[in-house]
Amino acid sequence: MPVTAENRLIYIVKRANYVLNIRTKEQTNAFIRGLLKVIPKDSLSYFYPHEIQLLLTGGMNEIDINDLR
């Protein structure tokens, strides 16, 4: 079915669901299994999402290529 002005919002929602959820489901599940091997599920409830991101990534700083060299 072609995308038309009438169904474009439905297309956008379905496309976003595919790209963000369905296409990455296997990798996301693998990541979660690995995370739960390191941090027990009960302990995750003590953290806010931005705190977990900070633990995983080490921060929001830009990578300085000169520092790496």
Q: How confident is the prediction along the chain (69 residues), in pLDDT tens digits per residue?
A: 899 999 999 999 999 999 999 999 999 999 999 989 988 999 989 999 988 888 888 877 777 788 877
Angle, alpha carbons 57-52-38 (nearest 5°) = 90
Q: How far apart (Å, rounded) are the C-alpha atoms in residues 41 and 63? A: 31
* Assessment of whether the complete model's pTM goes beyond 0.75: no
DSSP assignment of 5-64 equals TTTHHHHHHHHHHIIIIITTHHHHHHHHHHHHHHS-HHHHTTS-HHHHHHHHHS-SPPP-
